[in-house]
């Protein structure tokens, strides 16, 4: 009976903890969604109160004023190209490190993982100077290159664990049947590691979708600004247009909320699988 009581108490505490964490994470999103439907006087008068009327026109005004349509297309282009290149190059590098035998495999892994330890702020000025000399400033490709560079270490790290979990007998039988290394990679290794590809792809896409610092520094042309940079238009040195900024924030975060809501289980399963088997 004592053991059962202890189990029940511990279970209740766990649920209480998760409920508290859920409230902590969801409360800011709910407040932003509620505030986005208020007028500016309402926001200043009662920032935490419920709106007296639902002003859906705030979203249309924010969409036009911030040119969010162009910014969303720019973000989509940058994130999709970065996603494709990261998954292709990262999976190839991970397969070479995790499954192929060569002397510098461990050194290459360490070198790639060093990229996870370097903050973006440390390389911001050198990147800006180098890209200015190459004419890559105010170019979407000038964002894709650093996004790709900072996305690869995580992709290689996760995918290496998945490739190492593939049974040796399967790859050896493929070699006996006459498969080349490229056939083994594309026909056997990648399909068996599709969960890892899904996880790294989702993390790469959402991480670059929300990135602000590099896009803010490298892009000054309004026609090429990404969505996070477009949100800064509503903040001026003299005032902040809250009635436009909050709807714009909701427009920016809705895609990520939908993606995480639909694929959260796959993300957790993929990460735990790579961690255990790697």
Q: Where are the domains of the chain?
A: 67-277
**Burial group, residue 190, by CB count within 10 angstroms (0-12, 13-18, 19+):** buried
Mean pLDDT calculated for residue range 212-231: 89
Mean pLDDT calculated for residue range 28-46: 89
Task: Give the pLDDT of residue 88.
Answer: 92
Task: Give the pLDDT of residue 265.
Answer: 67
Each residue of 57-112: pLDDT tens digit?
989 988 988 889 999 999 999 999 999 999 999 999 999 998 888 888 888 888 88
The whole-angstrom separation of Cα 246 and Cα 32 is 6
Mean pLDDT calculated for residue range 204-217: 89
**One-letter-per-residue 3-state SS of 27-50:** HHHHHHHHHCCCCHHHHHHCCCCC
Task: Give the pLDDT of residue 221.
Answer: 86
Q: Which residues pair with 240 in a beta bridge?
A: 235
Q: What angle in degrees, to the nearest 10, is found between the helix axes of 68-98 and 141-164? A: 40
Residue 273 pLDDT level (bands cut at 50, 70, 90): low
- Do 143 and 214 meet the contact criterion of CB atoms below 8 Å apart? yes
What is the chain's mean pLDDT, rounded? 84
Mean pLDDT calculated for residue range 34-38: 90
- Do 60 and 68 meet the contact criterion of CB atoms below 8 Å apart? no
Which residues neighbour 244 within 8 Å (Cβ) at sequence distance 6 or greater? 58, 61, 62, 65, 66, 234
Lowest mean pLDDT among 140-149, 166-175, 207-216: 166-175
Q: Report how far apart, in Å, the C-alpha atoms of 210 and of each of 76, 81, 109, 274 are.
A: 11, 15, 27, 25
> Is the pLDDT at 177 greater than 60, yes or no?
yes
Lowest mean pLDDT among 9-13, 15-19, 139-143: 9-13
Q: What angle in degrees, to the nearest 10, is found between the helix axes of 141-164 and 120-134? A: 130
Lowest mean pLDDT among 27-36, 150-159, 185-194: 185-194
Each residue of 107-163: pLDDT tens digit?
888 888 888 888 888 888 888 888 888 888 888 998 999 999 999 998 999 888 888
Q: How many residues does the chain have?
A: 278
Mean pLDDT calculated for residue range 188-211: 86
Domain 67-277 has CATH 3.10.450.40: no
- Residue 54: helix, strand or coil by DSSP? coil
The whole-angstrom separation of Cα 204 and Cα 54 is 35
């Amino acid at each position: 009976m004592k053991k059962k009581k202890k189990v029940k108490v511990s279970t209740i505490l766990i649920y209480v903890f998760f409920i508290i964490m859920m409230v902590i994470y969801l409360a800011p999103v709910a407040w932003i969604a509620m505030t986005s439907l208020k007028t500016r006087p309402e926001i200043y008068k009662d920032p935490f109160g419920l709106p007296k009327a639902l002003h859906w026109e705030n979203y249309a005004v924010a969409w036009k004023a911030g040119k969010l349509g162009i910014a969303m297309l720019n973000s989509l282009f940058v994130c999709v190209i970065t996603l494709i290149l990261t998954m292709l190059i990262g999976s190839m590098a991970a397969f070479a490190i995790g499954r192929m035998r060569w002397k510098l495999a461990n050194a290459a892994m360490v070198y790639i993982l060093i990229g996870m330890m370097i903050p973006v702020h440390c390389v911001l000025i050198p990147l800006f100077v180098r890209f200015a000399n190459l004419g890559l400033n105010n170019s979407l490709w000038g964002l894709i290159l650093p996004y790709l560079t900072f996305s690869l270490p995580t992709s290689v790290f996760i995918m290496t664990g998945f490739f190492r979990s593939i049974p040796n007998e399967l790859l050896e039988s493929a070699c006996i049947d006459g498969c080349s290394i490229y056939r083994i990679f594309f026909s056997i290794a990648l399909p068996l590691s599709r969960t890892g590809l899904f996880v790294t792809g989702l993390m790469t896409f959402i991480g670059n979708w929300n990135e602000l610092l590099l896009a803010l520094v490298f892009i000054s042309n309004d026609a090429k600004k990404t969505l996070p940079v477009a949100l800064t238009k509503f903040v001026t040195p003299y005032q902040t247009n809250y009635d436009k900024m909050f709807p714009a924030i909701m427009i920016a975060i809705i895609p990520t909320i939908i993606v995480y809501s639909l694929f959260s289980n796959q993300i957790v399963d993929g990460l735990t699988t790579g961690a255990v088997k790697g």
